[in-house]
Amino acid sequence: MSEYKELIKNFDRIRDYMREFFVFGFKTRNSYDIKSSRTYDNERRRIENYLSDITKWDYTDSGKKVFISVDSSEIPQNPFYKAYKSKSFTTNDIILHFLLVDIFTVNKDKYLKLDEITELVNDKSDFCFEPQTVRNKLKEYADSGVLKVEKESKAYRYSFNDLYLEDLGLSQDAILYFSEVVPFGVVGSYLADRMDIKNTKFLYKHHFIVNTLEDNILLDIIDSIKSHRQIQVENFSNRNKKMRIFNILPLMIYVSVQTGRRYLIGYSGGRKFSVYRLDYIKSVKPKEVDDRFDSFYNELKKCFDYSFSTSFLIDSKPEHFEMTLYINEDSEQFIINRLEREGRGGTIKHIRRNIYKFSLDIYNISEIMAWVKSFTGRIVKIKSDNKSVMELFYDDVKRMKKMYN
């Protein structure tokens, strides 16, 4: 029987559980079927320890449900960063860390070979470390930027990467601010910990804290976009609750300013670009370089002129839409402001006193209809090239009228 431990081996595991609990839907002990009930208890306890200040629970007919309850305007730092800082370590990890720091500090500006480092480590330690163990730790530190590496003949030599926070000239306020508002903000959180500074100045009305759980996935996608590589994506379908695997040429990351959700736009075949929510992507695997990247990227940029949301069609003719509204010019300027702010490229024309026409050319009229319905009560007339969408709109109005009458 495995013993419960607070620390974790890697972030992907805790990310999966956090997504199960807080992204895909609140789970009860009975409904959690991926692992055993004991595993559920251990992971729930671990998450509650990370997020003790914002984790709540409630009892329903199906059992106890755990969820997050937080006012984003009251938290000084993203609480999910704690999960990144909970990685487990062994006794050898600790011993090797301090021995290597001591060795490279004494031999500053010198490059040392593996056998030299191993000999120095074993001279200073009561343990006997195998060269492969030392090599693995050196590679880990080199990959993270702690060490510099150069190749001499067939052997690698290592030296300290002389980088200290005091030499970066970073503004403390900039670190604290950008650690909460940009992707990969956990880096700023680590810097703040290293500099021993706390956020006492910034609070955020709209703080999309859950996005940090996607940052590892986002980094792999951005790297593949930069190198024009295809990727294999393991994606969760919220519709049928199943995992599916797709091969995609990633082109762009799309961020909603309304919900904070982040999307991957890519090409996977057919006459339209595919859109995937980052919080539903479980894993990303880079594949071969695709020479079609520039062609598809330029085609995608053209689509933004005729897209209201996430419908991006290739070589398609846009449909025309018009909506005539009654707006009181004396007291409802905010409605006109809203049309200008949310219309996404549409035009507003003053017809006569208190009557305005909003028009837009768009690939998929269905995308705009939820927004159009928010003007119910002001709509004088709507018109579109897509007759089926118009019929559905009027049918919805009739059904709503019947329900309220």
| Same domain assignment for residues 186 and 149 | no
Total domains, the chain: 5
DSSP 76: S
Task: Please state, in angstroms and rounded to a whole number, the distance separating the CA atoms of residues 373 and 396.
Answer: 10
Residues 284 and 333 in one domain: no
Is residue 80, in this structure, part of any structural domain at all?
A: no
Beta strands in 170-302 (DSSP E): 229-237, 242-255, 262-267, 274-277, 281-289
Residue 345 forms part of a structural domain: yes
Say if residue 221 is in the same domain as residue 202.
Answer: no
- Both 155 and 172 in one domain: the answer is no
Domain boundary among 207, 235, 270: 207
Rounded CA-CA distance 343/349 in Å is: 13
Do 232 and 181 belong together in one domain?
Answer: no
Q: How far apart are CA 102 and CA 190, in angstroms?
A: 22
Shared domain for 200 and 220, answered yes or no, is: no
And the tokens for 197? 């500074």
Answer whether residue 6 is part of any domain. Answer: no
- Is the domain of 169 the same as that of 156? no
- Predicted confidence at residue 3, as pLDDT, reads 54
Same domain membership, residue 357 and residue 280? no
Asked if the structure places residue 78 within a domain, the reply is: no
Mean pLDDT by 10 residues, the chain (405 residues): 55 68 57 60 71 73 70 81 77 87 86 92 88 91 86 86 65 91 91 88 85 90 96 83 89 88 91 88 93 93 83 82 94 94 90 95 88 92 90 91 85
**Has residue 4 been placed in a domain?**
no
pLDDT of residue 82: 82
Q: Does residue 84 lie in a domain region? A: no
Residue range 29-66, pLDDT digits in tens: 566 555 556 666 776 677 777 777 777 777 777 667 66
Q: Does residue 81 belong to any structural domain of this protein?
A: no
- On whether both 384 and 324 belong to a single domain, the answer is yes
| Final residue before a domain boundary, out of 306, 329, 357 | 306
Query: What CATH number did the domain enclosing 335 receive?
Result: 3.30.70
Report the mean per-residue pLDDT for the chain: 84
Q: Are residues 112 and 135 in the same domain?
A: yes
The verdict on 221 and 140 lying in the same domain is no
The domain in which residue 201 lies consists of: 165-207
Do 131 and 176 fall into the same domain? no
DSSP state of 34: S
Q: Domain boundary residue among 284, 306, 328? A: 306
| pLDDT at residue 1 in the model | 43
> What are the φ and ψ backbone dihedral angles of 22, each rounded to 5 degrees?
-115, -15
